[in-house]
């Protein structure tokens, strides 16, 4: 354990030392990954599907606020859908406008959730983002989680139904518009996922704040099980036809990744817990103090020996 703690401290020191360079690099990687995901999933507009354009936009995002990546990602999605069908672009534009109004009003600091959740869906481990939000965020972060789910299912729906959308009568714009809107509103899997993720975030948040030993681990276990049970219930009630094996494997992998997050964000030694009681003129205080796990780097002493002739 001491070796891992020393590695963690070295990583923290390295980040603190080179933070001014690492933050733009992380923004660049995040923007590049998000735009490549959008182009790979849609890719109907050949101009913005150009790798040079993607690199230039990602480089520009590295010097701008993180929220700007979300806005540019929405612009890319709308442009791709406009190349497919104007009606898809209208639905996407209105949907993004409503999402931005909720997102910037309630949880503007959860940009990473909106960006990473669709990517995690592609990797079949969206639960890790949900657990991380419950551990590090607040119940208000449900808005960002719901936005991320909605963005993923919008892209997925258009991607899987692109042939049908283009085959509809080009002169009948109402038919295309109705098809896209009805398809999103009747997407039972999307609403079941939203509800399951929202309940999971609240449970993880409430349990990890309890004054019990290993609260973070307990919250992750309860959250993972609750999420799977909710999705299975939704599958039975609404015939969503989700893959049970993929759910379980994804939940296990997400739990392990959440444990890695716990190691860096909340690593404490419960064996050295102390209970302190004191008072002032108005209150009695009962405090539970849990020391953090830390390791001090050994100081190296170099002795210079010179020979005297």
Beta partners for 98?
none
- Residue written as tokens 């953090």? 292
Neighbours of 265 (CB within 10 A): 11
pLDDT tens for 49-94 read 999 999 999 999 999 888 889 889 999 999 999 998 888 889 889 8
Q: In the structure, what pLDDT confidence band is assigned to residue 171 with cuts at 50, 70 and 90?
A: low
Between 261 and 243, the higher pLDDT residue: 261
Q: Which two tokens stand for residue 160?
A: 């899987």
Q: Which tens digits make up the pLDDT trace of 3-14?
A: 777 887 888 888
Least confident of 71-85, 211-225, 241-255: 241-255
**Backbone φ/ψ region at 113: left (φ over 0), alpha (ψ -120 to 50), beta:** alpha
Residue-level pLDDT at 304: 64
Which contacts (CB < 8 Å, 24+ apart) does range 262-269 have?
Answer: 262/135, 262/216, 262/217, 262/220, 263/4, 263/8, 264/8, 265/135, 265/136, 266/135, 266/216, 267/5, 267/8, 267/292, 267/293, 268/292, 268/293, 269/293
Where does the pLDDT of residue 296 fall: very low under 50, low under 70, confident under 90, or very high at 90 and above?
Answer: low
Contact of 211 with 288, CB cutoff 8 Å: yes
Percentage of residues of the chain with pLDDT beyond 70: 93
Average pLDDT over residues 149-163: 90
Q: Which of 67, 64, 63, 57 has its CA nearest to residue 33?
A: 57
Predicted confidence band of residue 184 (pLDDT cuts 50, 70, 90): confident
pLDDT digit string, tens, across residues 112-135? 888 899 999 988 899 999 999 999
Q: How confident is the model at residue 34 (pLDDT cuts 50, 70, 90)?
A: very high
Confidence of residue 25 (pLDDT cuts 50, 70, 90): very high
Residues with Cβ within 8 Å of 205's Cβ and at least 6 positions away in sequence, in order, are: 134, 135, 137, 138, 139, 219
Q: What pTM was estimated for this model as a whole?
A: 0.85
pLDDT band at 308 (very low <50, low <70, confident <90, very high): low
Percent of the chain with pLDDT strictly greater than 90: 36
């Amino acid at each position: 354990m001491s070796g891992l703690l020393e590695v963690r401290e070295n990583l923290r020191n390295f980040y603190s030392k080179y933070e001014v360079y690492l933050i733009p690099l992380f923004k660049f990687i995040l923007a590049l990954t998000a735009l490549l995901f959008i182009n790979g999933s849609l890719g109907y507009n050949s101009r913005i599907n150009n790798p040079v354009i993607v690199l230039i936009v990602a480089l520009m995002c590295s010097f701008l606020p993180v929220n700007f990546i979300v806005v540019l990602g929405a612009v890319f999605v709308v442009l791709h859908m406009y190349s497919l069908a104007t009606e898809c672009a209208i639905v996407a534009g209105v949907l993004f406008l409503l999402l931005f109004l909720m997102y910037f009003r309630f949880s503007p600091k959860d940009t990473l959730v909106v960006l990473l959740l669709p990517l995690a869906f592609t990797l079949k481990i969206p639960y890790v983002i949900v657990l991380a939000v419950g551990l590090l965020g607040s119940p208000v972060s449900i808005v960002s989680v719901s936005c991320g789910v909605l963005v993923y299912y919008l892209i997925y729906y258009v991607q899987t139904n692109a042939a049908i959308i283009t085959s509809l009568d080009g002169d009948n714009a109402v038919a295309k518009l109705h098809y896209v809107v009805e398809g999103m509103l009747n997407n039972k899997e999307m609403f079941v996922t939203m509800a399951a993720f929202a309940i999971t975030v609240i449970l993880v948040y409430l349990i990890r704040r309890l004054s019990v030993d290993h609260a973070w681990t307990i919250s992750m276990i309860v959250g993972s099980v609750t999420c799977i049970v909710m999705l299975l219930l939704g599958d039975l009630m609404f015939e969503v036809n989700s893959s049970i094996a993929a759910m379980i494997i994804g939940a296990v992998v997400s739990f392990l990744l959440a444990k890695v997050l716990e190691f860096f964000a909340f690593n404490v030694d419960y064996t050295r817990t102390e209970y302190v009681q004191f008072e002032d003129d108005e209150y009695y205080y009962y405090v539970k103090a849990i020391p953090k796990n830390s390791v001090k780097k050994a100081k190296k002493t170099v002795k210079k020996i010179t020979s005297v002739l």
